[in-house]
């Protein structure tokens, strides 16, 4: 993770295809994140006008473990759908890059507005 203090507003994603489309066809605020099944995709971009980098998180005993980092702005919707399906299939579950505490993951109501919100 690039960001040690960032908090994210987590919204549910409808399905893998919708998430792939959202992450490749739109630019999101630095505080946006999406939940699909047991995985979170949180914006880890370093700049609002930079590449849309997302950390993929999965719940563990100690919080949420980052299992992958994906640059969706470099992918087509089909490529993104393929990688999202691979995440959902558990292909990256054995990886461990970082741990994020649950208090940094908020509902949109809890999150409100922050310096990253457009």
- Please check whether residue 57 lies inside any domain of the structure: yes
% of the chain surpassing 70 pLDDT: 90
- Please check whether residue 35 lies inside any domain of the structure: yes
Q: Domain of 101?
A: 8-111
Contacts of 46 (CB under 8 A, 6+ apart): 2, 53
- Please check whether residue 103 lies inside any domain of the structure: yes
% of the chain surpassing 90 pLDDT: 47
Q: Pick left, alpha or beta for residue 37 (phi over 0 → left; psi -120 to 50 → alpha; otherwise beta).
A: left
- Please check whether residue 1 lies inside any domain of the structure: no
Number of domains into which the chain is organized: 1
- Please check whether residue 117 lies inside any domain of the structure: no
Q: Using one digit for the tens of pLDDT, what is the confidence trace for 61-102?
A: 888 999 999 998 889 999 999 999 999 999 999 999 888 888
The whole-angstrom separation of Cα 83 and Cα 79 is 6
Which of the given ranges, 4-8, 17-21, 70-74, has the highest pLDDT on average? Answer: 17-21
pLDDT band at 115 (very low <50, low <70, confident <90, very high): low
């Amino acid at each position: 993770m690039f960001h040690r203090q960032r908090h994210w507003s987590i919204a549910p994603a409808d399905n893998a295809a919708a998430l792939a489309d959202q992450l490749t066809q739109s630019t999101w605020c630095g505080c946006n994140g999406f939940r699909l099944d047991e995985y979170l995709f949180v914006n880890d971009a370093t700049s609002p006008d930079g590449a849309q980098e997302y950390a993929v998180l999965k719940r563990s005993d100690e919080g949420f473990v980052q299992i992958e980092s994906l640059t969706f702005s470099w992918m087509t919707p089909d490529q993104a759908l393929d990688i999202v399906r691979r995440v959902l299939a558990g292909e990256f579950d054995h990886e461990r890059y970082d741990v994020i505490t649950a208090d940094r993951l908020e509902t949109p109501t809890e999150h409100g507005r922050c310096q990253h919100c457009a």
